Structure formats: C-alpha cells, structure tokens
Amino acid sequence: MNRCATFVLIVAFGIVSQLSHGAEVTVQDKDGKLCLYANLMVNFSVSYEVTGNKSATVEFELPGNVTTDGSECDTKSSTLKLNFGEGHSWSVNFTLSENVYQADFVTFSYNLSDTTRFPNSVSNDTTRVTVKPHITDVRMDTCYSCKSNDMIEADLVNQTLWNVLIQAFVSNDSRSENITSCAADLPTTAVVPTTHSTSTTTAAPVTTPTAPPTTTTPTPTLPTPSTGKYSIKPDENSTACLLASFGLRIGYKQADKYQEMNFDPNGTIVSGSCEVNSSELVLVSNTLTLMFTFTNDTKKFRLRALNVTGTTSSGVHFSEANTNLSLWEAAVSSSYMCNKEQNYTITSQLTLYTFNLQVQPVGVQKGVFSTAEECQADADSFLVPIAVGVALLVLILIVLLAYFIGRKRNTATGYESF
C-alpha cells in the first residue's frame, strides 16, 4: 500500500466527502486522471472587528466536508482550492521547476457575514489574506509530509498546518510511495564530544604562501527587461477587470552576494481574480513566481502586497513577501503610469525594478486603460525641457530688449550730430 495515503477518497468533479481526521482530497485533470492529492489539517485563528469598536478572535479548523471547485492542474503549475462553510476557501498554489516543486503561496478567504463563525462582526466583506508557506524543494514523484505544527502568521490571521501529506504533479495516475519530509520531522543529529589529548607536541613551522592579488569581476549589466502585457477576466465572455503592462527586474541579496534577474514575459502563466475591494495578478515563469495584491476603497487603489518566489542563476531558491505596501496609488477611475525606471525595496533581501509601468486593477472600461496618473519621476522629466524653454525665452527677451534700447540710443545720437 502506498505510504502517501492509507485511505483515499476518489473525487470526481471536485466533490469531497467528510473525514473525521481532516480534509483528504484528490483532484483529477481534464482527462480524468489523478493529478493532485492532499490530506491535511489546518487550524485558523482570526481577529476581526465587532460592535462597540472592539475586536474579537475566533478559532476554528478546516472541516472535512470541503469541495475542490477551482482546483486545477497543469504541467508547470497546480492549484488546490478547498471551499467550506458560507463562502470560505483555502487554497495553495504549486509550481514545478526542473523536477522540484514548491508551494508558492497560500490564500485564505473568509466571509465575515457568516454569523456562525464571526458573530457580531461589523463587516460583511469577504477578506483575503495571502501568505508564503514553508513547503519547498519537494522532489518530483514524492509526497511532501509534515506531521509537525507549521504556523504561518499574518496581521489578523494565523494558520497552523499539521499532519500534512501532499503530492502535487502526480504522474502516471498513481500516487508515489516516496516521501519528502519537512525539516521539523527530521531527526536531529547528536553531536559527538571531542576528546582532547593531554600530551604536548611541538608543531612544525608553517609557511603561509603569499596569496595572489584578488581581481574583481564586474557584474554584467542586464539589458532592459521586455515589457509584458497582462489582463485578468472574470470569465471567458467578459472584458478585462485588471490590466497591467510593465517590464520587471528582481534583485535578490543573500549574505554578501547580490544577484539580479529579468522577468521574461514569454511563456508566462497568468492568473488572478477581481473582487469588490481587492484584486490579484499572479505571474509564473520558469524561474520566478510573482503575486501582486491590490486593494481599493471608494477613492483610490494601491499595491498592498507582493509575494516573490524564484530561483537565482546559481540555483538558490528564495521566497520574499511584503503584505504592508502602499505603492502605485491612483484614483479608481484612472490607471497608474510610470515609464521611467523605478526601484522599490520590498524586503531587506528583495528589490523590485519596474520599466514602462502601467496598471489598473479596478474600474477598467471596455478592456482598455483609463486616463493615467503619472508618477513623480515622469512628471519631473517634463520639468527639465520646460525649464530650458523658459530660460531660452527669457534670454531671447533680454536680447531683444537690449537691441531696442541700443537702437533708440543710436537714433538719439544721430539727431544731435546735425
């Protein structure tokens, strides 16, 4: 029997039966073959605002009676989405790169109008929080296993995963018997004490060779990244609800080593969603996965969160996120534009560079960008030619004024000569 699961529910068309020990599901591809398996438990702790200008915290667990509507499998990316209760969902996105897969981000959506789980809530909105899980470097054709508690913290939501058993990218319609365990489940290696000798020996003299002078290899300058154009549609028959056009470069620092890489829009997998007060754009290339989360109120929209997962040219896997940004702000009836190169410090390790940027995550009309609000850098670029023009105009006026004054004096001198 497979070690990946003792008892599996075969789920057709994304319907899952209830289990007493957590949510155990299988997802099938369009050909009806098994493509993703999961058996896991998740505990949630959510803080929310209640009447009387107070806050409350509720705790509940992911039930067994979930559905998998919205789950999908592809050759390079997979999504497991578990829906439960009155409008709640928990999803995790996986990407595959060179026979190793990882979970890029977990998205938890909870409906505050559910009075059973959120009594006395002053809001009826559906709130979404996106975090980075600790599921990385899982070899292809193995199950990821983690029996230990794995807490993922956010501002108002804490999620604890445990008894996790997942295999994304199932091949040959059969789950694997091999396991990739999380670090917390691995046994610790005992340190053998070192035995010191009491005898005294005279060490031979050591001659240290003179090291050759070090040469610094200049970091090659990357070309300007290609501009990609992206759009999100609520469904195939609708016009776009989110538009984005930009070239991207990622700078990542590990210890004393800094590397930059351009995001290649060719072959990029584009996904996302548009909600009432938020929207998401997810871009997945061969080496990078970026998730942009925008929020909006009645007046303005802004980039609120950015999650970046990738692999550097030297093979280093990294994942960085910032969920408290306030970038690319513009009126909801406008788009945001910044043609000049800009750089943003996302975390202490991650820098984002943008080129020819224009985004509109809300209020898109007829599938085209609305009038743009320009960034300060673009506005400043017009000040230089304007200032030069004004200076030239003043210079011309001074020359003309000097000419007329000189001519008038010459005329007066001529009259006196008679």
Write the DSSP assignment of 102-118 as a string of letters.
EEEEEEEEEETT-TTTS
Question: Does the residue 197 lie in any domain?
Answer: no
Give the C-alpha separation, 267 to 357, whole Å: 20
Q: Are residues 117 and 236 in the same domain?
A: no
Q: Are residues 148 and 25 in the same domain?
A: yes
When pLDDT is averaged across residues 26-36 and rounded to a whole number, the result is 93
Supply φ then ψ for residue 385, to 5 degrees.
Answer: -65, -35
Give yes or no for a contact between 131 and 159, defined as CB atoms under 8 angstroms apart.
Answer: yes
CA-to-CA dists, residue 364 to 231, 270, 357, 375, angstroms = 10, 18, 16, 19
When pLDDT is averaged across residues 157-161 and rounded to a whole number, the result is 92
Question: Does the residue 404 lie in any domain?
Answer: no
- Report the SS3 class of residue 139: strand
For residue 388, is pLDDT > 50?
Answer: yes
Residue-wise pLDDT tens digits, 38-69:
999 999 999 999 988 899 999 999 998 999 99
State what percent of residues in the chain have pLDDT above 70: 83
Question: Does the residue 274 lie in any domain?
Answer: yes
Q: Are residues 168 and 234 in the same domain?
A: no
For residue 207, is pLDDT > 50?
Answer: no
Give yes or no for a contact between 92 and 80, defined as CB atoms under 8 angstroms apart.
Answer: yes
For residue 80, is pLDDT > 80?
Answer: yes
Q: Are residues 19 and 134 in the same domain?
A: yes
Question: Does the residue 189 lie in any domain?
Answer: no
Question: Does the residue 217 lie in any domain?
Answer: no
Q: Band of the pLDDT at 264, cuts 50, 70, 90?
A: very high
Q: Are residues 295 and 370 in the same domain?
A: yes
Nearest to 107 by CA among 272, 244, 241, 277: 272
pLDDT at 186: 86
Question: Does the residue 211 lie in any domain?
Answer: no
pLDDT at 255: 81
When pLDDT is averaged across residues 70-97 and rounded to a whole number, the result is 92
Domain membership of residue 295 as a residue range = 223-374
When pLDDT is averaged across residues 93-109 and rounded to a whole number, the result is 89
Which among 1-5, 204-208, 304-308 has the top mean pLDDT?
304-308
Q: Are residues 119 and 4 in the same domain?
A: yes
Q: Band of the pLDDT at 75, cuts 50, 70, 90?
A: confident
pLDDT at 3: 45
Q: Are residues 165 and 292 in the same domain?
A: no
Last residue of a domain, one of 129, 157, 184: 184
Q: Are residues 163 and 19 in the same domain?
A: yes
pTM metric for this prediction? 0.58
Give the C-alpha separation, 342 to 352, whole Å: 8
- Give the position of tokens 């009387």: 52
pLDDT at 154: 79
Q: Are residues 178 and 234 in the same domain?
A: no
pLDDT at 105: 87
Give the C-alpha separation, 391 to 387, whole Å: 6
Q: Are residues 115 and 18 in the same domain?
A: yes
Q: Band of the pLDDT at 122, cuts 50, 70, 90?
A: very high
When pLDDT is averaged across residues 294-318 and rounded to a whole number, the result is 89
When pLDDT is averaged across residues 100-129 and rounded to a whole number, the result is 92
Question: Does the residue 409 lie in any domain?
Answer: no
Q: Are residues 115 and 245 in the same domain?
A: no
pLDDT at 200: 42
Give the C-alpha separation, 203 to 201, whole Å: 6
For residue 304, is pLDDT > 50?
Answer: yes
When pLDDT is averaged across residues 154-169 and rounded to a whole number, the result is 91
Higher-pLDDT residue of 63, 417: 63
Q: What is the number of domains present in the chain?
A: 2
CATH code at position 177: 2.40.160.110
Least confident of 199-213, 270-284, 310-324: 199-213
For residue 22, is pLDDT > 80?
Answer: no
Least confident of 22-31, 64-73, 214-223, 276-285: 214-223
Q: Are residues 125 and 227 in the same domain?
A: no
Residue-wise pLDDT tens digits, 329-373:
999 999 999 999 999 999 989 999 999 999 999 999 999 999 999
Question: Does the residue 301 lie in any domain?
Answer: yes
